[in-house]
Amino acid sequence: MSNRTLTILAGGYSRRYQKKDGQWLDKALLCINNKPLLIYLLDQGNEIYDGINISVNSNSRKRDYKEIVESYLPNINIDFTVDLRKISLNGVLKGIYSTLKKRTKSSVQFIPSDRPYLDLRILRGLRVMKRGVSLLRYNNGMIEPLLSLYGAQASFPESFSQLPLSRADVPIRFSNEIQVYSINEILDRNNLSSKSFANINIQPDVENERIEYSNSAAVNIPDSVLIEREQPNFTFDDTRYNKEDEIVETLIEIENYYSAFLLSFYFWKQKKIFIGKYKALGIESLKKEYEFWIKNEMPFLALHSLDDLVRYFPGERKPSVNAKIKHLRKKMKIEPRRIK
Q: Is residue 233 part of a domain?
A: no
* Dist CA 126 CA 45 (whole Å): 15
Q: Is residue 321 part of a domain?
A: yes
Q: Is residue 157 part of a domain?
A: yes
Single out the residue in 194, 228, 262 at which a domain terminates: 228
pLDDT surpassing 50 at residue 339: no
Contacts of 18 by beta carbon, 8 Å cutoff, 6+ apart: 24, 25, 203
Domain count, the chain: 2
Q: Is residue 60 part of a domain?
A: yes
Tell me which of 222-226, 257-261, 330-334 is least confident. Answer: 330-334
Taking the C-alpha atoms of 124, 29, 66 and 34 in order, what is their torsion angle to the nearest 10 degrees? -90
pLDDT surpassing 60 at residue 129: yes
Q: Is residue 340 part of a domain?
A: no
Say whether both 184 and 105 belong to one domain: yes
pLDDT surpassing 80 at residue 203: no
Q: Is residue 74 part of a domain?
A: yes
pTM score, two decimals?
Answer: 0.90
| CATH number (domain holding residue 40) | 3.90.550.10
Contacts of 224 by beta carbon, 8 Å cutoff, 6+ apart: 126, 127, 134, 179, 180, 181
The model's pLDDT over 142-166, given as tens digits with 9 standing for 90+, comes to: 999 999 999 999 989 998 999 999 9
Say whether both 66 and 171 belong to one domain: yes
The radius of gyration of the chain from alpha carbons, rounded to an integer in Å, stands at 21
* Dist CA 229 CA 33 (whole Å): 47
pLDDT surpassing 60 at residue 336: no
Say whether both 63 and 102 belong to one domain: yes
Say whether both 142 and 259 belong to one domain: no
Say whether both 224 and 129 belong to one domain: yes
Say whether both 185 and 152 belong to one domain: yes
Say whether both 78 and 117 belong to one domain: yes
Question: Residue 179: which domain range?
Answer: 4-228
Say whether both 178 and 284 belong to one domain: no
Say whether both 203 and 145 belong to one domain: yes
Say whether both 222 and 284 belong to one domain: no
| Mean pLDDT, range 126-142, rounded to an integer | 95
* Dist CA 288 CA 254 (whole Å): 11
Q: Is residue 210 part of a domain?
A: yes
Pick the more confident residue, 64 or 235.
64
Say whether both 138 and 203 belong to one domain: yes
pLDDT surpassing 90 at residue 337: no
The model's pLDDT over 23-73, given as tens digits with 9 standing for 90+, comes to: 657 788 888 888 888 999 999 999 999 999 999 999 999 999 999 999 999
Q: Is residue 122 part of a domain?
A: yes
Say whether both 219 and 289 belong to one domain: no
